[in-house]
Structure 1
């Protein structure tokens, strides 16, 4: 009996080992065949290559967002603390500027394409509070925070920094419409500008001139990004080194008068003050006026005061459609005689 039992146990063990061996062979073969089959499939079947998105720098990202849906064109304005703080009467220059978009005809949607370029943290924070497209410009080596009086050293420096920034925008392939924040937008200017690409640059003037010479104003102008305009801006910005005491507008005027525009093959349009008006020369027709610029004015407080009157005149026109005269710009007219004015630091 013991021998029989022992033989039975050995036979059962052998059968069990044989069964386990068969199972091992079956499952190991399956486990190997699946990956090999998949590997061959992957080699012979083209796989889509995942696109690697390169990170955008901060400026490119905000430009792309602001220009979207606007023919690759971005509206740019420069602001500092002096332009976003109350100067009396409960309003700042930026307040009036943005209010004009609300009160203008067909202008409110354009805020989606407005980029405010801040020269200091206060201006940047105010822009962010307004939920606009905002960018803080690098101002290393310069103090551009407080009010910079017309033709002061800091004022001239700020104008050149602005020119360099706009050159960067053109280099990136964006068309731009630059506007000072002391320009009220009463109608959509794009409907009055040439948008068929025939003009490389369209720029405002202080006064209409029937002669060949134009008194240009760089407070409002449209530029298409191309080799000609980029070359112009390069030459313009480089001229700062040999133009001590001159603001960028005067240097551009000099380049225009010298014939450089013609040499570069630039097609330039000059905006008539009947539509693109200013304090230097009022538009006589409220039914045609598109923008009003507080040019021919020296300080921020009188600009805010007289532009407030312009908005009041505009609201009256919208209610009655009666073409009246603009209120006198007395505060701005008197700003040139105010030799005791001290801007806020």
Structure 2
């Protein structure tokens, strides 16, 4: 964009194939309010050649660059792999590289539906704007999950904090160093502040997910994250239903039918 902001997502073969999450994500950009313009600024980083070839059929800005090759040398499957944090650390390495190039980053997971432009919710006075969700009330104190989308500013403060996080992972390989931005910042607030890395915690009502479904999501949400769902086919199934209902909701609003309510038909397969 004009201010050197780019939108990033990352996929592997399991996310970039016919009937996959990538197709639903791209469709949400086309169906959202003031979101189609982001497609011109969306860069899709592919983690394997198969994902790259399929991505190129759908979108003009797909890359599988040699500069990122060390992060993608080990093939893995998203979500279903017990080593899920491998992807998170690869993502964090990419974030560092992109920040060093001087680009502000809007990062979106592929299992996120864009309903409205989130730009007005990103406060660029902060290094990070993020929504932190929880898998359940009981796990609130222990399991802070990212809301599927965040904004990170390209400055020295963000870069040094991210490098500190990577160094900690390198030095303490046997420890369970958090890969979640939400958990890391929450547990390292003093360190973050010492680097000048400040966080804007965005309202979860604006960046919702399947973990916390409510009947007013279409009225308030900018994005909806298909979290609390481990199976990729179930994610795709329910995300398609959400997108269909969102289009019905938009059509009702355009017809000034304020009394029409869209009954939630989801999640269906992403339950439990």
Residue 184, structure 1, aligned to residue 145, structure 2 = no
| TM-score normalised over the length of structure 1 | 0.68
Distance 1:299 1:72 in 2: 35
More helix by share: 1
Alignment of 1:101-140 (within 5 A): 101-137=29-65, 138-140=68-70
The Cα shift of 1:83 comes to 0.6
2:132 maps to which of 205, 213, 222: 205
Pairs aligned (count): 257
The Cα shift of 1:97 comes to 0.4
Secondary structure at the counterpart of residue 83 of structure 1: coil
Q: Output the aligned Cα RMSD.
A: 2.6
Change (3 A) 1:247 1:124: farther
Distance 1:122 1:190 in 2: 32
Distance 2:142 2:234 in 1: 30
Q: Per-residue CA shift, 1:51-95, capped at 9, x if unaligned?
A: xxxxxxxxxxxxxxxx4x3x1100000011111113xxxx21111
Secondary structure at the counterpart of residue 81 of structure 1: coil
The Cα shift of 1:330 comes to 3.1
Alignment of 1:1-345 (within 5 A): 67=1, 69=2, 71-86=3-18, 91-137=19-65, 138-140=68-70, 142-144=73-75, 147-150=77-80, 152-153=82-83, 155-194=84-123, 197-207=124-134, 215-217=144-146, 219-241=148-170, 242=172, 244=174, 246=176, 248-250=178-180, 253-259=183-189, 260-283=191-214, 284-321=216-253, 322-334=260-272
| TM-score normalised over the length of structure 2 | 0.84
Task: Give unmatched runs, 5+ long, in structure 2.
Answer: 254-259
The Cα shift of 1:282 comes to 2.5
The Cα shift of 1:255 comes to 4.3
Tell whether the 8 Å contact from 1:78 to 1:162 is kept in structure 2 after alignment. Answer: yes
